[in-house]
Amino acid sequence: MFLLVNLKTYRAGTGEDAVAVAEAARDVADETGARVAVAPQAADLRAVAETGVETFAQHVDGVEYGSNTGATHAGAVAGAGVTGTLLNHSERRLRLAEIDASLNAARDASLETVVCANNPAQSAAAAALGPDAVAVEPPELIGTGTPVSKADPDVITDTVGRVREVADVPVLCGAGITSGDDVEAARELGAEGVLVASGVVKAESPRDAMLDLVT
């Protein structure tokens, strides 16, 4: 079971609050044996990584060292203690060539990669590029509290089937995941983990929310 918590730019996911969520995630992982990772804003990557929790960047660019103002360099991210990265989230969409370049940069920096996609066809295309995992998230359900595992379960089963046709890549699912029941439903449909954001970051107790998701 893999729980990846995207802090986005929620106020509760910045600065000291990001560290507090990260510490809670680390403790939940230690207590339950589940794999839990946190993806904070770039400014908080080092501080979050120093808590000992698995830390993912929300994005890296496919650039080398040099004249790339405003880019997020995979090697610099890895140097901050980060172990993985999201790519192509629906709020940070990339062209296919850009996904490929970012994947190559991440591999060169030994970062684990999770490529997001909107639907089964996009998920299969992403899987063909060889990421470590694909996360399917219908954008219309993101942040709604209506889980994809219940609103449109065929999205998960179809994604798992399409991905397996092209590569041996695990499928995660996201969008509207807020409870352990949502996670259980997703896993029964073939997902090997979940990508969540508001269900944890905006919860009264992020720790309790994460415990519910993984137990």
d(C-alpha 137, C-alpha 134), whole Å:
10
In terms of phi and psi (left: phi > 0; alpha: psi -120 to 50; beta: otherwise), the region of 186 is alpha
Report how far residue 30's alpha carbon sits from residue 32's, in angstroms, rounded to the nearest whole number: 6
* Tokens read off for 68: 């790339």
Q: Is 165 noted as a catalytic residue in this protein?
A: no
Using CB atoms within 10 Å of the CB of residue 167, give its burial: 0 to 12 exposed, 13 to 18 middle, 19+ buried.
middle
Which tokens is 215 given? 């137990």
Return left, alpha or beta for 96; rule: phi > 0 is left, psi -120 to 50 is alpha, else beta.
alpha
Q: Tell me whether residue 157 is exposed, middle or buried, using C-beta atoms within 10 angstroms of its C-beta: 0 to 12, 13 to 18, 19 or more.
A: middle
Catalytic residue among 54, 59, 73, 137: 137
Known catalytic residue at 98: no
Q: Of the listed 54, 59, 73, 89, which one is catalytic?
A: 89
C-alpha to C-alpha distance for 21 and 23, rounded to whole angstroms: 5
Considering only CA atoms, which of 8, 71, 86, 69 is closest in space to residue 44? 8
Rounded Cα distance, 107 and 113, in Å = 8
Active site residues: 89, 137
